């Protein structure tokens, strides 16, 4: 049975985040729900669209929702997918081909506020991304 539960979001690459945010604000008539140094996310009707200037986002990338990212990752690897990792120049490389600079060095899974993310390359060379929501821990 598939671990993929549905679309989480799609992220589009941009070379100029500020210009892209301005363009999308004009089209959608609203500000992004979240904006960081290299990403902005717009939400509406249960759909999230991200814009990213991160070097590893070099084409549109669909993130799939999963309940257990580690298990989904293992299942996809068992089916021939290859884990991708972020490397020193900010791009993606296959796990084992370069030093991991962000994420788990064994899997490439990255923990971010509110979630865990992973990118894998399928047998046909397409990128498939996973997103597991994780409750935020406020304060300590």
Q: Give the whole-angstrom CA distance, residue 96 versus residue 84.
A: 9
4, 19 Cβ separation under 8 angstroms: no
CA angle 19, 55, 138 (to 5 degrees): 85
Write the pLDDT tens digit of every residue in 43-76: 987 889 999 999 989 889 999 999 999 999 999 9
Q: What is the mean pLDDT of residues 34-51?
A: 91
Whole-angstrom distance, CA of residue 20 vs CA of residue 14: 7
Q: What is the pLDDT of residues 120-137, one digit of tens each?
A: 999 889 999 999 999 877
73 close to 53: Cβ distance less than 8 angstroms: no
Is the CB of residue 108 less than 8 Å from the CB of residue 85?
A: yes
The answer to whether the CB of 38 falls within 8 A of the CB of 54 is: yes
Q: Is residue 140 part of a domain?
A: no
Does one domain contain both 35 and 66?
no
Asked if residue 42 has pLDDT above 50, the reply is yes
48 in the same domain as 23: yes
In-domain check, residue 48:
yes
- What pLDDT is attached to residue 47? 83
């Amino acid at each position: 049975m598939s671990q993929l539960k549905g679309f989480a979001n799609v992220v589009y690459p941009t070379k100029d985040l500020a210009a892209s945010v301005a363009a999308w604000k004009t089209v959608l008539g609203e500000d992004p729900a979240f904006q960081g140094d290299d990403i902005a996310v717009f939400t509406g009707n249960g759909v999230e669209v991200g814009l990213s200037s991160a070097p590893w986002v070099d084409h549109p990338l669909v993130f799939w929702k999963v309940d257990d990212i580690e298990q989904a990752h293992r299942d996809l690897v068992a089916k021939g997918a290859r884990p991708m990792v972020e490397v020193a120049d900010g791009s993606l490389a296959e796990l084992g081909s370069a030093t991991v600079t962000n994420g788990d060095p064994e899997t490439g899974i990255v923990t971010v506020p509110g979630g865990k993310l992973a990118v894998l390359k399928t047998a046909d060379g397409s990128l498939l991304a996973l997103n597991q929501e994780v409750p935020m821990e406020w304060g300590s």
